[in-house]
Amino acid sequence: MTDLLTVARLAGVSRTTAARAFSEPEKVREATRDKVYAASETLGFRPNYVARQLRTRSTRIIGVMLPTLRNPVFCEQLQAMENSARERGYSLMIATTDYDADRESRVLENMLRQRVDGMILTVANACESACLRLLAQESLPAVLVHNPAASPEFITISVDNRQAICQATRHLLALGHRRIAMIAGPVRQSDRAALRYQGYCDAMTAAGLPAQPLIEMAHHTRVDVALLRPWLASGSALTALICTNDLLALSAIGGLQRLGWRVPTDISVIGFDGIALGEMVHPSLCSVVQPQRELGAAAMESMMNLLANVSVSSQTLDFTLRQGESIAPARF
């Protein structure tokens, strides 16, 4: 059976260096790492991570808890985190919660039993999260993504959701829209949606216009057109809709078109997230773009610093408004 010493000899390095290439790759020069990995592949050597875990009391595994992987937003973020973790010799343990607060606590409990080295997570509502209350009792590094309203003891990586939608609403107002409303999924399951609605209200109030009640759907990414019909009545019909995520916006466009409404001729639609799919459809989706890969990379960088006992601060990343074919000047 091939052992680490044989790998070291083939790579032309010491056994200590070969061991460090697997256990702490960030501390070994890239060229040296490559030689060690090439030698191990040639010899069919697999390092014993279980033994290393027992020796170092570190699994080199980061727990990642996300609401869903059905939304491409979280997939892009996850890919960036996985790439960053792998470069540093870490692996990810991934679980989804389907925006269920009870499930969040169960997922966290399982991650703690697996002895993950840290947690990167997005919860439904940071201000009311039993999961975060449990995590606060643990001496485990944690980084929240998309949850800016959490307790100051947590490091958070996010965009300014309230300001982002405020700017999107102002853009519609500048196009002459006055009857604007907002669609969201279950608000109690998303503190981001609540902040976005506040941003919409800010812009409408500043313009001297009444903010419409939030149109709340049963699902985060699917629009029930029956709930839209009362807002489309002649004489007081909406001229623009803002959706709290892109999949919801795309569903809204499909529903409106099936009802005979033309987008954007009859009604404009703006989404939030900036997923690539929004640029592939017709009309292409106008959307507030979150830098998902940057969010994921920043979250993992913060985690690595926490693990190294380096001071870390929360970050608010920039957003942009992607112009698309789904909005146009108001006609009436």
Stretch 311-325: mean pLDDT, rounded?
96
Task: List b or e across 153-171, with b for residues whose CB sees 16 or more CB atoms inside 10 angstroms.
Answer: ebbbbbbbbbbbbbbbbbb
Which pLDDT score, from 0 to 100, does residue 234 have? Answer: 73
Which pLDDT score, from 0 to 100, does residue 53 have? Answer: 54
Asked whether the predicted pLDDT for residue 49 surpasses 60, the reply is: no
Q: How far apart are CA 289 and CA 282, in angstroms?
A: 18
Q: Are residues 66 and 212 in the same domain?
A: no
Confidence band (pLDDT; 50, 70, 90) for 21?
confident
Confidence band (pLDDT; 50, 70, 90) for 41?
confident
Q: Assess if residue 331 is contained within a domain.
A: no
The string of pLDDT tens digits covering residues 92-144 is 999 999 999 899 999 999 999 989 999 999 999 998 899 999 999 998 999 99
Q: Assess if residue 330 is contained within a domain.
A: no
What does the block give as tokens for 169?
């609403």
What does the block give as tokens for 292?
């998902």
Specify the residue for token string 């108001």. 330
What does DSSP assign to residue 284? Answer: P
Nearest to 216 by CA among 245, 238, 192, 187: 187
Q: Are residues 169 and 262 in the same domain?
A: yes
* For residue 47, cis peptide bond before it (omega within 30 degrees of 0): no
Q: Are residues 197 and 270 in the same domain?
A: yes
Q: Assess if residue 325 is contained within a domain.
A: no
The string of pLDDT tens digits covering residues 52-86 is 554 555 689 999 999 999 999 999 999 999 999 99
Whether 121 and 150 have beta carbons less than 8 Å apart is answered as no
Higher pLDDT, 23 or 222: 222
CATH number for position 60? 3.40.50.2300
The whole domain housing 45 covers 4-53
Q: Are residues 285 and 302 in the same domain?
A: no
Q: Assess if residue 332 is contained within a domain.
A: no
Q: Are residues 282 and 243 in the same domain?
A: yes
Q: Assess if residue 14 is contained within a domain.
A: yes
Q: Are residues 70 and 42 in the same domain?
A: no
Which pLDDT score, from 0 to 100, does residue 79 have? Answer: 96
Which pLDDT score, from 0 to 100, does residue 18 have? Answer: 85
Q: Assess if residue 8 is contained within a domain.
A: yes
Nearest to 68 by CA among 216, 221, 197: 221
Task: List b or e across 117-152, with b for residues whose CB sees 16 or more CB atoms inside 10 angstroms.
Answer: bbbbbbbbbbeebebbeebeeeebbbbbbbbbbbee
What is the tally of structural domains in the chain? 3
Side by side, which strands form the sheet with 155-159? Answer: 91-96, 61-66, 118-121, 142-145, 155-159, 315-317
Whether 36 and 18 have beta carbons less than 8 Å apart is answered as yes
Q: Assess if residue 324 is contained within a domain.
A: no
Stretch 302-321: mean pLDDT, rounded?
96
The string of pLDDT tens digits covering residues 194-211 is 999 999 999 999 999 999
Q: Are residues 37 and 106 in the same domain?
A: no
Q: Are residues 31 and 82 in the same domain?
A: no
Asked whether the predicted pLDDT for residue 146 surpasses 90, the reply is: yes
Q: What pTM was computed for the model?
A: 0.82
Mean pLDDT, all residues of the chain:
92
CB count in 10 Å sphere of residue 29: 10
Confidence band (pLDDT; 50, 70, 90) for 291?
very high
Q: Assess if residue 100 is contained within a domain.
A: yes
Stretch 160-177: mean pLDDT, rounded?
98
